[in-house]
Structure formats: C-alpha cells, structure tokens
C-alpha cells in the first residue's frame, strides 16, 4: 500500500504504513499552528483489496468533533466523488475502503482543481466577459476577478478566502455556468446587472493544502479593516471601491453545521437592505430545498460590527446587502443524501443563487 500527497492541495503525514492499512496525522496549516483540519491524499494498493486507515490526531484538529455525526470522508477514483465508511472512534478518524484499479483520492472535501478554474476563465472570455488580474500573491499566483455584464455597481461574489472550504469553488462554477450558459434568464440578468466574481481569494493557501490561512498564517476574513491588509484583501477592496457594489456574497464552508444558510452582517442594517435580504432568502426557499433560514450562527443586531470581517466591511463601505453564504462539509440535514453535500450540489446551488439574485435585483421582470 502507498500513500501520497504530492499534488495540488495535497496534505497528510504518514506515521506507519502496512500492506493493508496506515496510521496518519493531519498537519497544521503552514504558518498557523492553531489551524489543523484539511487533508487530501492518494492511496494505492492491489485492486479490490480492502484497507483501513487511522487518522490518529483527528481529535486534536481545530474542529475535531466535525469528523463525527453526518460527516463521511470523500473519495474518488478519478471519476465521480463518493463517500467512504468513516467514523470518529476514540478521537481517531477510522476510514475503511477498497482499492480502486487506479489510485483512490481521499479528501476532507473534494478540492476545486486549478484545471477547472482555467476552464472557468475560458468560459468567461468566450461569453464576452473579461478576466481581470487584480494583483499577485506573495508566491506570484494571480488574484483574478471574472467580470460578466455591466461593471457599474456589480454583484460581488468572493470564494475560498479560507482555501480548504473548496465547496465555494464548486459553487462559483455553477454560478458562472448559469450566467454564461446562454439561457434567456441569464441574458436578461446580464443586460442590467453585472457580476464581479473572485473564484479563489487565497490561491497560495489552496496550492499547499492549508485549510484556513495563507502560507504566512493570515486568516483573510479577519483582515478587511487593516490599512496594511494582505495583498489578497487589499486589491479586492480597491477593485470594489473602484466599481461600487450592489450586493455582496462571501462564500464559505462550515465544518460543524450541516446546513446551507446565509449569515447577515453584524449590527442592524437599514430597512431597505433588510427587505432585499428577506426577498432574496424567500426566493431561495422557493428555488431549492438545499436552502434554509432556520439554522445559522447566533445573531444579535445590537453587536457592534467588526470591520475585520468581509461582510461587515462591505456593508459599512457601501450600505448594501452583504451576506456570508455557508455550505456544509458533511450534508444538508434538511435534505440528506448518501453522497453528502457533494460538488454537484454546490454547483446547482450556485446556479440557483444566480436566479434568486435576478429576481431580487430585477423585480420588474
């Protein structure tokens, strides 16, 4: 049996390796010892033979309890993603499976790969949109914005501030596919509403398999108020100030909560903003059973907003609807599926959100 993490976003440490099993550990984020959650690795062995893996430090991870309950490890032999038999036993994550004919890739959640991001760029350009280079990371990777429709006060969507929250990348793919698909609803929407989409805010973190931070140990979603913010945040803020904004979505994944939900900014927004958010949520409830409004983070309108968070900064800067959209790592318990909240569901949700925004932002249609 072999174990390898030598690929984009790969991350695991091998402690013991046998013919039909291994003892593994999840390393902490490069640059940030307080975050430890993401894993992605390949296993290979005799086709058809079974294996048993123990991730012995699961209980020491930042959200160690998230490996229990409805969570199951994701796996792919290069085709569709499925979930393996996995459970939290005595603080260890036990994973059982069968070797595929080719290598079997096991992940905390299916990564959103660079080749699909390249395809999104091509699709954007072929549809008459543009791919704008906002800047480059400390490692030289591009921070890019996909621009579709009119760019005067566009809808801004950002994803993967936390690189391990890969469902955000799949969500953006579904959003862009809907907008560029040539359908009547998408064409009508783009005639009056622009979209500015950053599919990967933290490309350096994604490349090395960090879960929460940049390689410098920075949590981007805690840096929006800083004058000397990381380049990933500073170029995004500058681009938003340049274009303006009319709606903002920051797409994330939640390790513990098995629901899809939108979290409003802290404090009490003006009535007109609350009305737009309520209209968007009502439309989403009609469009997909994968959306719900009952379960979310605790919310207190009297809290003084911390502008270090993206949604709070955007609402303070522009006075517009500004939401953190959370997708689960495990499953949506309001609509359980044996495959969990797999990438195709995240993509479908992206398309539904585009439709929902269209109804709210084009009420006279």
- Going residue by residue through the chain, which has 365 residues, state the pLDDT in tens, using 9 for 90 and above: 999 999 999 999 999 999 999 999 999 999 999 999 999 999 999 999 999 999 999 999 999 999 999 999 999 999 899 999 999 999 999 999 999 888 999 999 999 999 999 999 999 999 999 999 999 999 999 999 999 999 999 999 999 999 999 999 999 999 999 999 999 999 999 999 999 999 999 999 999 999 999 999 999 999 999 889 999 999 999 999 999 999 999 999 999 999 999 999 999 899 999 999 999 999 999 999 999 999 999 988 888 999 999 999 999 999 999 999 999 999 999 999 999 999 999 999 999 999 999 999 987 64
Task: Identify whether the C-beta of residue 127 lies closer than 8 Å to the C-beta of residue 232.
Answer: no
Quick one: which of 51, 35, 33 has its CA closest to 43? 51
SS3 316: helix
The domains located in the chain, with CATH, are 2-107 (2.60.40.3120), 114-361 (3.40.630.10)
Check residue 235 and give its pLDDT. Answer: 98
Entry pTM:
0.97
CA 311, CA 264: separation in Å to the nearest integer? 8
SS3 33: coil
Quick one: which of 46, 62, 59 has its CA closest to 94? 59
Check residue 260 and give its pLDDT. Answer: 98
Quick one: which of 260, 269, 254, 252 has its CA closest to 314? 269
Phi/psi class of residue 184: alpha, beta or left (left: φ > 0; alpha: ψ in -120 to 50)?
Answer: alpha
Task: Identify whether the C-beta of residue 360 lies closer than 8 Å to the C-beta of residue 184.
Answer: no
Q: How does strand 322-328 pair with strand 261-263?
A: antiparallel
Q: Phi and psi at residue 82, in whole multiples of 5°?
A: -140, 180
Task: Identify whether the C-beta of residue 262 lies closer than 8 Å to the C-beta of residue 325.
Answer: yes
How far is residue 112 CA from its own chain's centroid?
Answer: 9
Check residue 364 and give its pLDDT. Answer: 64
CB neighbourhood size of 43 (10 A): 23
Check residue 230 and give its pLDDT. Answer: 98
Check residue 320 and give its pLDDT. Answer: 97
Quick one: which of 81, 14, 105 has its CA closest to 344? 81
Quick one: which of 172, 162, 164, 220 has its CA closest to 198? 172
CA 206, CA 144: separation in Å to the nearest integer? 14
190's tokens: 């783009």
Residue where the block lists tokens 């036990």: 94
Quick one: which of 105, 86, 110 has its CA closest to 96? 86
Handedness of CA 91, 96, 102, 106 (dihedral sign): negative
Check residue 79 and give its pLDDT. Answer: 87
């Amino acid at each position: 049996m072999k174990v390898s993490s030598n690929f984009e976003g790969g991350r695991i440490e091998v402690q013991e390796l046998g013919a039909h099993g291994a003892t593994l550990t999840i390393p902490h984020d490069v640059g940030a010892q307080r975050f430890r959650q993401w894993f992605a690795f390949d296993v290979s062995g005799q086709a058809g033979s079974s294996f048993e893996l123990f991730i012995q430090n699961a209980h020491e991870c930042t959200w160690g309890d998230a490996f229990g309950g409805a969570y199951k490890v994701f796996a792919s032999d290069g085709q569709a993603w499925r979930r393996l038999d996995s459970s939290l036993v005595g603080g260890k994550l036990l994973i059982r499976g069968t070797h595929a004919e080719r290598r079997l890739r096991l992940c905390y959640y299916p990564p959103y790969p660079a080749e699909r991001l390249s395809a999104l760029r091509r699709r954007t350009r072929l549809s008459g949109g543009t791919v704008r280079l906002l800047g480059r990371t400390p490692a030289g990777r591009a921070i890019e914005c996909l621009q579709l429709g009119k760019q005067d006060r566009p809808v801004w969507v950002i994803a993967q501030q936390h690189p391990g929250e890969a469902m955000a990348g799949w969500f953006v793919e579904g959003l862009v596919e809907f907008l560029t698909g040539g359908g009547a609803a998408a064409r009508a929407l783009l005639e009056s509403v622009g979209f500015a989409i950053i599919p990967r805010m933290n490309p350096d973190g994604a490349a090395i398999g960090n879960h929460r931070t940049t390689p410098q140990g920075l949590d981007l979603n805690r840096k929006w108020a800083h004058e000397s913010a990381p380049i990933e945040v500073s170029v995004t803020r500058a681009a938003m100030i340049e274009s303006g904004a009319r709606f903002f979505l920051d797409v994330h994944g939640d390790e513990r909560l098995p629901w899809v939900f939108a979290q409003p900014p802290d404090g009490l927004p003006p009535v007109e903003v609350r009305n737009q958010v309520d209209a968007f949520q009502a439309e989403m409830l009609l469009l997909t059973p994968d959306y719900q409004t009952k379960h979310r983070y605790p919310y207190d309108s009297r809290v003084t907003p911390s502008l270090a968070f993206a949604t709070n900064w955007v609402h303070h800067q522009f006075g517009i609807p500004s939401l953190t959209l959370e997708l689960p790592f495990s499953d949506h318990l309001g609509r359980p599926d044996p495959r969990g909240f797999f990438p195709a569901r995240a993509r479908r949700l992206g398309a539904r959100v585009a439709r929902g925004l269209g109804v709210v932002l084009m009420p006279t249609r």
